Structure 1
Amino acid sequence: MITPTTVLTETRFSKEAIEQQLRKIICDPIFEGSEILKRFLSFIVNETLSDHANRLKEYTIAVNVLDKPASFKPQESGIVRIHAGRLRRALNYYYDERGILDNIRISIPKGSYVPVFAENDDNFSSNSRVRNKSVIIGVAPFKFSSSGEDRNSFADGIGAQLSTALMNIENLSVAGYYVMRSLFSKQLSLEEIATHVGAQYLITGDFQIMKNNLRLHIQLIRIRTSQLMWSQMYERKFSQENQFEIQDEIVHQVTNEFETLAI
């Protein structure tokens, strides 16, 4: 039998913010098809917000959520534990997909039925070599200060090559570059694009060319907060003959930066 642990229910989030997050979750397609999961999550969240977390035991959940009779004996049935496992998996799936940019993460630690309300960290640790799970990055189409078919081709070359190179970094997932380019062409907001591809971070870049001198600014942005996480400037001599060489060199240097980047 699972014994509920004592959990401090104080949180820096307001009750209204948590209730709003709850409503968003139970309206998601993951939960729409399961009345039990919606009732289970709503019950334990509302009980916790009402300072009744100590009541969240198998018996009370069975009676109030699963409509079991007052004679229900938890020691003779694992039905509550089974649905709790389903709920944990559904929450994890929600936050891995459509909830990836949400501010509040609701979770249910194993060994307890009391929900925890925490900041939905986007999984970059202080040491980028230690990540809890795969981080998803999208590379936005790089911009030139002046237009031209050859320069657009050069920018696409760096974007596509960088996307491919970043895939070789352990625990780093990369959204398809031409998918990103198509989404940007539709003039969607950053959050809309991020939600579509599931990305937490975005790499952007812009070029300037003056008298055969190329200057490139590259930035890494945390999409949910619009926070600038990393920035670098590269300067190179530019000509039609050395375009591929510049692409290779810049992609190599950026990839090396991401191998050791601490965010």
Structure 2
Amino acid sequence: MASTRTRADFNHGRFAKGLARGIAGALLFALPMFLTMEMWELGLYIDRFRLVLLLLINIPLLILLARRIGFEDVSTWREAVRDASIAYFLGVAASAAVLSIIGVLRFGQAIPEAIGMIAIQAVPASIGALLGRSELGQHEDGDEDPVSEDLDEGYGGELFMMAVGALFLGLNVAPTEEMILVSFKMSPCHAIAVIVASILLMHGFVYALSFIGGHQVEEGTPGWHAMIRFTFPGYIIAFSISLYCLWTFHRLDGIDPTQAIMATVVLGFPSAIGAAAARLIL
């Protein structure tokens, strides 16, 4: 049950450190996309409906993620909305600052173009801002950072974190031409091999390789149980998110369904790794 807190209980120092870690996380996790030409160009021509849809989808994702790892102790949904809003603001600010520094944004540029480039970069940057608290944060006074029971426990929470990891890593590479070029070089046998490798790597990352944060199959539980319950659904999530990312970034426009599936399989490989990594580190 969430505790009742007052303004006097608010730890301003911890919150300020959370903001600093959020900015660092936005830069660390989104810098590759800030420096990717395809992402700049997407801001110029991306269909505005698809862009707005991506921005809207990011809102509940950030709120749920903030419920788990906010900038300060998060015990209510109101605080989660607050932290998600801050993360979005940090993502926008970091995107505008970096794109301006490297000369992509210029004075006199058309406002719709500038807004498009900043908005599309703000999505991964805002996710990075929240991830920054989890990955760059430091336990103080021997206490662990609080994690909401709503998302920390349960099957739905595991699937959600896999979706976050798949989306974040998928956004890194979905805008690039290589996803389509690689898919044209692949045969159906290659596609099957990539799918099998994705699933095995997902399972190995979490259960077999003894990484910190990895999961152990309970004694007496069949080995295939975790594969069926978590790994296969995780890959389906990663595949679905990959398909959505490619559609959002116009990578599926003008190609036949078979080739679209092949491209999704290619992007599903890094997205699956991202899904598995999210279960380890978040």
Shorter-chain TM-score: what band? under 0.3
Which has the larger Rg? 1
State the TM-score, normalizing by the size of structure 1: 0.28
What's the TM-score once normalised by structure 2's chain length? Answer: 0.26
Hey, which of these two has a bigger chunk of strand by percent?
A: 1
Give the structure, 1 or 2, with the largest relative contact order (CA under 8 Å, sep 6 or more): 2
- Higher helix content, 1 or 2: 2
